[in-house]
Amino acid sequence: MQGADESHVTGNFKDCKMWDSLPNIKVPTLVPGVIYDEMNPVDMKKEGQMIPKTTGRIYVLKEAN
């Protein structure tokens, strides 16, 4: 669906414009993110702010020794 990897969207999602649809989500939604996530933290915050019933969290996970 996405493509060869997360950095090169060539599949069905290549023309997806999700931002305009986010305010239409009517169920409580968790938008999780982690410190080394592929998605930009600014975009994660924007995504969380656009969904009406959102709880957003950025998790910092400690690396295993």
Nearest Cα neighbor of 53 from 20, 29, 31 is 29
6-46 pLDDT, tens digit per residue, is: 666 777 777 777 888 989 999 988 887 776 777 777 787 88
Q: What are phi and psi of 58, to 5 degrees?
A: -110, 120
Per-residue pLDDT, 1: 58
How far is 41 from 39, CA to CA, in rounded Å? 6
